Amino acid sequence: MYYKFLIIFTALMVAASCSREPEATDAQKVNAIAADFVDGYYQQYPEEVYEVGYPDAPSDRFGDHSPKVRAAWDARIDDWLDALDDIDIAELDGTPEAVAYVFTRERLQTIVDRRICKMDWWNVSPTWTGWQYSIISTLASQPVNTAEQRDAALDRAADIERFIETEIANLQVGLDKGYTAPTSNVVAVIEQISTLIDTPLDESPFSSPATRSDDQAFKTEYRKIVESEIQPALIAYRDFLINDYDGRDAIGVASRPNREFLADQNSESNSIGAAGNPNGEACYRASVRYWSSLPMDPMKIHRAGLSEMSRIQTEMLSIAKNHFGTDDLQGLFEELRNNPEYTFESEEQMLDYVKAAVARGRQAVPDWFGYVPDVDVVVIPSPAYEKDSGGGFYSSGSSDGSRPGTYQVGTYNPQGISRAGQESTAFHESYPGHHLQISIALLNESLHPVQRYMHISGTAEGWALYSERLADEMGLYSSELARLGMLSNEAYRAARLVVDPGIHVLGWTREQAIGYMLQNTAEGYDSVSGEVDRYAAVPGQATSYLVGSLEIQRLRRHAESILGDKFDIRAFHDRILADGSVTLPMLAASTDAWIQAELAGN
């Protein structure tokens, strides 16, 4: 009997041990945490997917940024961070999981640190961080080919009213807690929303899904939603800003009865920086690291910008003397902004000019890169409601290559837009800049999704600014005017290092920031004022461009110095872009490893 019991007991134990799953390895844990994070992020922020092409986000709704859901999201971030801290990264050394670990942990930590900004409470933004931009950009790529997709589009459109109501509620909390946006941005957003309200329904960017479908029942139902739900929500948001919202530079004033009054507040004496909000300087420091991936002191950033500006102006002065016959840079900038010889006659002419630059870049990149994905990019003008946003924006294509990338060009008032910087910006956004960079990551299925679909501005924008200089080496600029524009654009980024901490920490006014940029670049007033408003809306992000570019330039000089005749520019560029999204310190480490492998002949 005893032996029979022992046999049965042993069989049960064997069965139990077989049914018990082995504990996950540290590598498996990292992969799972990073995958949960990237998927969770785009579940929480599906309105950001248009920028990166993440394929598994919901297409039937927008994000819920109410306090309750936000608290739950914050708890998930904390849990992922704690789980990563329980893993011994030394055990992952030299593996792809080590890269995913470092990148994911850095992203999670910077998200936690940036909570001090309370961005939801004062995000009245006329640029790409504004809800109106992200929602409209999302709708522009909303698929409507199948009945299921059209149903999802209807559900998503019907969700916009809730989304806007949440935005209003969050801003009201901000007012109650002392967090406010600068009045200049409130004025700009009121103008944007008013333009959207006044646009005929069939021409509204909110109607984009309906305009791309032949299903009449769908078009009719969608139009009803725009008319009966979205339009009233837009009016409610605009009226809240006009009647109830106190901009940062008007604290203590009880109400805002009309937008003319708001505009009157936009005087030279007004401050627009984050320092006007609680914990403003701490917010700025956290934001600089969030965007650049480097901890940097605001005054060091400011001084670095002044130093870089001096260097760039020396180069600009050479072109000014040799090609334009003058040593008066400010006078030349004024000429380039206002002389019709150097501006555009029409939107069509400007778009043709930009498209020609993109085509030259596309043709030349195979000589400078080992791998060039076959993914198209299309050039389109910015919609009317964004007339004051200026510049250009890139949105990625789909991860399967079926949808092209999009370069959106600010073409408002082309007679006031200098030709000087347009080619440089085109190379920044397309080839060899963002379009090439992001397409390489999207199509590389061997990368972890967190590296394909999450981005850090320091490496992403650093690469794009590096590309503007690289385009000069590639012989892509069509004239000395365009080369001067390249330098002017680089001066623009140096000016950002000066202006961004200036307005957020050092107390600079809006007009002071605009004046500095007009004095030191060839850009016009409309472009510069829109840029300054963007910096005010997104603390710290503007610093990431030149910081990242200078680091990539340093890495290239370092590689050239050590490798000598073994240095291969195509291999170097492939190395910089190979891992998708990484921090600047990670990029330096991987480049050093590549250099050693090249020396060893591997």
Handedness of CA 176, 180, 185, 187 (dihedral sign): positive
4 has pLDDT over 80: no
Give a yes or no: residue 154 inside a domain: yes
Instruction: State whether 334 and 476 are in the same domain.
Output: yes
328 has pLDDT over 50: yes
Flag the least confident range among 54-58, 269-273, 299-303, 561-565. 269-273
Closest CA to 136 of 199, 42, 186: 199
pLDDT value at residue 392: 77
22 has pLDDT over 90: no
Query: What percent of the chain lies above the pLDDT cut of 70?
Result: 92
Q: Over 458-503, what HEC string results? A: HHHHHHHHHHHHHHHHCCCCCCHHHHHHHHHHHHHHHHHHHHHHHH
Give a yes or no: residue 489 inside a domain: yes
Angular region, 417: left φ>0, alpha ψ -120 to 50, beta rest: beta
* Burial status of residue 317 (CB atoms within 10 A of its CB: 0-12, 13-18, 19 or more): middle
pLDDT value at residue 526: 85
Instruction: State whether 416 and 543 are in the same domain.
Output: yes
Question: What is the Cα–Cα distance from 343 to 337, expressed in whole angstroms?
Answer: 7
Total structural domains in the chain? Answer: 3
266 has pLDDT over 70: no
Residues of the domain holding 221 = 127-270
pLDDT digits (tens, 9 = 90+) for 349-405: 999 999 999 999 999 999 999 999 999 999 999 887 665 555 678 988 887 777 899
Question: What is the Cα–Cα distance from 411 to 383, expressed in whole angstroms?
Answer: 9
Cis ω on the peptide bond leading into residue 46 (within 30° of 0)? no
The tokens describing 426, both together, are 């085109």
* Three-state secondary-structure class, residue 196: helix
Sheet with 392-395: strands ordered across: 377-381, 405-409, 392-395
Instruction: State whether 290 and 239 are in the same domain.
Output: no
Encode 452-466: b = buried (16+ Cβ within 10 Å), e = exposed.
bbbbbbbbbbbbbbb
* Burial status of residue 602 (CB atoms within 10 A of its CB: 0-12, 13-18, 19 or more): exposed
Question: What is the Cα–Cα distance from 560 to 543, expressed in whole angstroms?
Answer: 27
Q: What is the mean pLDDT of residues 132-161?
A: 97
Whether 186 and 244 have beta carbons less than 8 Å apart is answered as no
pLDDT value at residue 390: 57
The confidence band for 187, taking pLDDT boundaries of 50, 70 and 90, is very high
Q: What is the mean pLDDT of residues 1-24?
A: 51
Q: What is the mean pLDDT of residues 255-282?
A: 63
Query: How many angstroms separate the first and last alpha carbons of the chain?
Result: 67
Give a yes or no: residue 177 inside a domain: yes
pLDDT value at residue 391: 66
584 has pLDDT over 90: yes
Which residues contact residue 443 at a Cβ distance below 8 angstroms, ignoring those fewer than 6 apart? 373, 375, 399, 401
Angular region, 441: left φ>0, alpha ψ -120 to 50, beta rest: alpha
The tokens describing 251, both together, are 């604290």
pLDDT value at residue 20: 58
pLDDT value at residue 53: 85
Instruction: State whether 319 and 384 are in the same domain.
Output: yes
pLDDT value at residue 389: 52
Q: Rounded to 5 degrees, what are φ and ψ at 426?
A: -60, -45
10 has pLDDT over 60: no
The tokens describing 21, both together, are 């799953």
CB atoms within 10 A of CB 200: 7
Whether 290 and 111 have beta carbons less than 8 Å apart is answered as yes
Average pLDDT for the chain:
91
Encode 53-76: b = buried (16+ Cβ within 10 Å), e = exposed.
bbeebebbbbbbbeeeebeebeee
Higher pLDDT, 338 or 167: 167
Instruction: State whether 87 and 148 are in the same domain.
Output: no
The tokens describing 173, both together, are 């909390």
CB atoms within 10 A of CB 235: 14
The confidence band for 189, taking pLDDT boundaries of 50, 70 and 90, is very high
Q: What is the mean pLDDT of residues 268-283?
A: 84
Distances (CA, A) of 395 to 52, 153, 160: 7, 20, 21
Instruction: State whether 151 and 107 are in the same domain.
Output: no
Instruction: State whether 235 and 362 are in the same domain.
Output: no
Give a yes or no: residue 574 inside a domain: no
Instruction: State whether 299 and 230 are in the same domain.
Output: no
Single residue among 82, 117, 152 that ends a domain in this structure: 117
Flag the least confident range among 91-95, 448-452, 459-463. 91-95
Instruction: State whether 179 and 105 are in the same domain.
Output: no
Instruction: State whether 261 and 292 are in the same domain.
Output: no
How many Cα atoms within 13 Å fall on the side-chain side of residue 284? 26
The tokens describing 224, both together, are 């009803």
pLDDT value at residue 6: 41
Give a yes or no: residue 10 inside a domain: no
Which residues contact residue 28 at a Cβ distance below 8 angstroms, ignoring those fewer than 6 apart? none
Single residue among 239, 270, 301 that ends a domain in this structure: 270
Higher pLDDT, 154 or 385: 154
Instruction: Enumerate the H helices of 325-375 as residue ranges.
Output: 329-338, 347-364
Closest CA to 327 of 339, 314, 308, 340: 314
Distances (CA, A) of 65 to 80, 226, 418, 547: 20, 22, 40, 31
Higher pLDDT, 302 or 1: 302
Whether 502 and 305 have beta carbons less than 8 Å apart is answered as no
pLDDT value at residue 17: 46
Give a yes or no: residue 435 inside a domain: yes
Q: What is the mean pLDDT of residues 18-47?
A: 90
Question: What is the Cα–Cα distance from 413 to 387, expressed in whole angstroms?
Answer: 8
Single residue among 221, 239, 270 that ends a domain in this structure: 270
Instruction: State whether 386 and 328 are in the same domain.
Output: yes
Give a yes or no: residue 16 inside a domain: no
The tokens describing 440, both together, are 């390489």
Instruction: State whether 305 and 190 are in the same domain.
Output: no
Closest CA to 430 of 457, 458, 397, 405: 405
262 has pLDDT over 60: no
The tokens describing 341, both together, are 């010889």
pLDDT value at residue 337: 87
Q: Are strands 392-395 and 377-381 parallel, antiparallel or unpaired?
A: unpaired
Give a yes or no: residue 379 inside a domain: yes
pLDDT value at residue 270: 58
Q: Which residue has the tokens 């409610």?
A: 236
Q: Are strands 377-381 and 405-409 parallel, antiparallel or unpaired?
A: parallel
pLDDT value at residue 15: 47
